[in-house]
Amino acid sequence: MAVTTTELRKKFTELFGAGAEPKAYFAPGRVNLIGEHTDYNGGHVFPCALTIGTYGLIRPRADRRLRFYSLNFEDTGLVESSLDELTPDEKAGWTNYPKGVMWTFGLRGYRITKGADILIYGDIPAGSGLSSSASLEVLTGLMLRETYGFDISMVDLALIGQYSENHFNGMNCGIMDQFASAMGKKDCAIFLDTSDLTYEYAPVKLPDARIVITNSKVKHSLVSSAYNDRRRESETALKDLQTVVDIRTLGELTEEQFEQYKDAVRGPVCRRRAKHAVYENQRTIHAVEALKKNDIVTFGKLINASHVSLRDDYETSCPENDLLAELAWSVPGCLGSRITGGGFGGCNVSIVKNDAVEQFIEALDKPYTEKTGHRAEFYVVDIGDGAHALD
Ligand code: GLA
């Protein structure tokens, strides 16, 4: 964290004036180790919360006004609104995320009657695909729950975040990011079955390896519309498959069943999308089994296979992230590497032997800049806890 909570408190008083001490909260970003584009296909995911994320200070008001300020959008300045203006508005910029969560609270019968002053600061690199928006949604949910005394579970806060993103902010995301931000646990990844939200914490014991995130620093445009397209293509494939096999989601199929029924899917594009969803789900199950047996080599190979599938079948990678993956695969101490998150740019995640981290960075840094003109960023990360209050 580049800014301390003491500094945030000082800034809060500067912006909103003296008064009752605001309460401070944190919600993390996430990285997904494996299980990509499976969360809206009834499959498994395996994300973990990071120690970077979004911080928030909140103080309730006596009236219905809302005042927001983000240290990440200083140019935007103070954004004023009210509990009576909870409708999506382009001009509202980043505040559409907290407002979407407030709106969803209302839909679910959690009546917020008093406004608030809210200060936000995030240390997730902008546009990196490490879930800054999900962390802001979960953070808002937690702040509202604590400030106004609602009885809501952390899983429900994740669902509220997802609902607000889908219906207020127009991104048809699955549950993975909000779930990881709300439910993360230090040193563990979450093996989540998105068909029923059952989950298990799997310790990520990497005695001689680290998780390294490489930010390609590219974010191709129309990300959310391309994401929504993938989601629609998966749904079309599912409908075709349902004409020949009794399933509710693609996640219910094994690889063998998919091969048996795949011709029912009309069109090669939807067939490839469905193939990815089915195989990626199975890969995720196998990867968690391998990790439990401390078989990091198999775990890494499945991570590599995930990238290939996202590149060729799901087509959510891009030349920059492909290049980073290929460079990573050629480093002897790299056990596995793939694009992570929604795709079309953003970050790759790699498992790298401790003594090879430096060499790994060197092997990617220069060739990547030479070939693309972009300078990649590297983060050697730790797995942190889910959203919580700060003292
Ligand atoms: C984005 C979405 C998630 C998930 C991933 C792909 O991060 O928000 O719900 O679908 O993409 O795995």
Atom 9 (ligand 1) nearest CA: 174
**Active-site annotation holds for 313:** no
Give the other-Cβ count within 10 Å of 285's Cβ: 19
What pLDDT is attached to residue 225? Answer: 84
What pLDDT is attached to residue 221? Answer: 66
For a pLDDT cut of 90, what percent of the chain falls above it? 95
- CB 193 less than 6 A from any atom of ligand 1: no
Is residue 366 scored above 90 in pLDDT? yes
Residue range 243-274, pLDDT digits in tens = 999 999 999 999 999 999 999 999 999 999 99
Distance 119 CA to ligand 1 centre (A): 27
What pLDDT is attached to residue 87? Answer: 97
Structural element, H or E, at residue 81: strand 79-82
Distance 24 CA to ligand 1 centre (A): 27
Residue range 52-75, pLDDT digits in tens = 999 999 999 999 999 999 999 999
Cβ proximity of 11 and 25 under 8 Å: no
Predicted confidence band of residue 391 (pLDDT cuts 50, 70, 90): confident
Question: 361-370: long-range contacts at Cβ-Cβ below 8 A with a sequence spacing of 24 or more?
Answer: 361/212, 363/327, 363/328, 363/330, 363/331, 364/214, 364/324, 364/327, 364/328, 364/331, 367/323, 367/327, 368/216, 368/320, 368/323, 368/324, 368/327
pTM above threshold 0.85: yes
Residue range 106-149, pLDDT digits in tens = 999 999 999 999 999 999 998 899 999 999 999 999 999 999 99
Q: Which atom of ligand 1 is nearest to the CA of 38?
A: 12
| Mean per-residue pLDDT of the chain | 97
What pLDDT is attached to residue 322? Answer: 98
What pLDDT is attached to residue 207? Answer: 86
Number of H-type helices and E-type strands within the chain: 11, 13
Residue range 166-189, pLDDT digits in tens = 999 999 999 999 999 999 999 999
Residue range 315-336, pLDDT digits in tens = 999 999 999 999 999 999 999 9
